[in-house]
Amino acid sequence: MREVLVARLDGAGDVLLAGPAVRAIARSARVTMLVGPAGEEAARLLPGVAEVRVWACPWVLGDPPPVRREEIDALVGDLSGFVEAVVLTSFHQSPLPLALVLRMAGVPRITGASVDYPGALLDVRLRPGETLDEDQPEPERMLAIADAAGYPLPPDDDGRLHVRLPSAARPRVADVVVHPGAAVDARRWPAGHAAEAVRLLADEGWRVAVTGGPGERELTAQVAGGHALDLGGRTTMAELAAIIGGASAIVVGNTAAAHLAAAVGTPVVSLFAPVVPAVRWRPYRVPQVLLGDQHAPCRDTRARACPVPGHPCLASVRPDDVVAAVRSLAPRSAPRTGPLTEEIPA
């Protein structure tokens, strides 16, 4: 099979959303994914990925490393030998810097979506707003790029998000997962609101687990209080996916855990800050309730820190709004068990 490099260089959620495009390419090629450090775990969960390579990209990451000639030279050497590359980007990103590196590596065929004239850098170019619709879900945008490269989604593929997990790896740790963190402040529901929602859910008899990354232990402890199982910093991404897959619903912002939920089919109460368009980034093809003022002044700013005092787009969402959304997505007849903490490593 031909060796195809598929690049998605930003966050874990972005890599998860690339899953359908990766599967389309993998049907007739061996796929190596090039991802940023935050996307490595997600890439290893995607069906169709044969190999993962990691590079911290200085023109994509929010906290970028410096550009160093020796590191670019090393990347050029690492990417030599590929016969084709498909560069997956969002509407605000350019594939051209990476395409230049790929040309320096001798890659003969490169596909990407570019507003700017690509010259000799792209062999297959989609033009956003012309040959590529920007007002569509992110997975479909990336599928369109793969299709243009000659890799359509097969008819027997449902086009949804999927991750590779053992069929039995869905422990019933909790009825509801609350994931209060996000990669940037602008997408986080206030911690006090999240803590109150956890208390209300627990008072109704829901078994709740609060999840988060290693850097969010203080946040998850605050939100869990004495009412929920605190799993902050205690799970790998695969374990988190399994825990979410065993729950009846998840409460989460616009972050990777929302896309993990879509990949395992768990309904989502989506606390969605409109700093990016919901039409592109909301949980994909999974039952959901979208909460948050989508017409707030921060709309479409891509802000990392909320530019509006008081963070009104999400602070206006009340804890009892979230509890009502959980009830609507997860009927009270859903089975309940106690927290199975032995399933999670200490």
Q: Give domain status of residue 158, yes or no.
A: no
Tell me the three state secondary structure of residue 138: helix
Residue 55 CA, distance from chain mean position: 18
- 118 and 265 within one domain: no
Residues 66 and 4: their CA atoms lie apart, in Å, by 28
Q: At what angle do helices 96-104 and 69-79 cross, to 10 degrees?
A: 70
- Residue 106's domain comprises 2-148
Q: Give domain status of residue 171, yes or no.
A: no
Specify whether the CB–CB gap between 39 and 62 falls below 8 A.
no
pLDDT range class, residue 130, cuts 50, 70, 90:
confident
- pLDDT beyond 80 at 246: yes
Q: Give domain status of residue 167, yes or no.
A: no
- Per the structure, the count of domains in the chain is 2
Specify whether the CB–CB gap between 341 and 210 falls below 8 A.
no
Q: What is the pLDDT of residues 292-344, one digit of tens each?
A: 999 999 998 989 898 899 999 999 999 999 999 999 999 754 544 433 333 33
What pLDDT is attached to residue 167?
65
**pTM of the entire predicted model:** 0.93
- 279 and 210 within one domain: yes
Residues 280 and 139: their CA atoms lie apart, in Å, by 8
Our separate counts of H helices and E strands in the chain read: 13, 12
Q: What is the pLDDT of residues 56-108, one digit of tens each?
A: 999 999 889 999 999 999 999 999 999 999 999 998 899 999 999 999 999 99
Q: E strands within 109-222? A: 110-113, 124-126, 176-179, 208-210
The CATH number assigned to the domain holding 230 equals 3.40.50.2000
For 67, the token pair is: 């550009």
159 burial type by CB count under 10 A (0-12 exposed, 13-18 middle, 19+ buried): middle
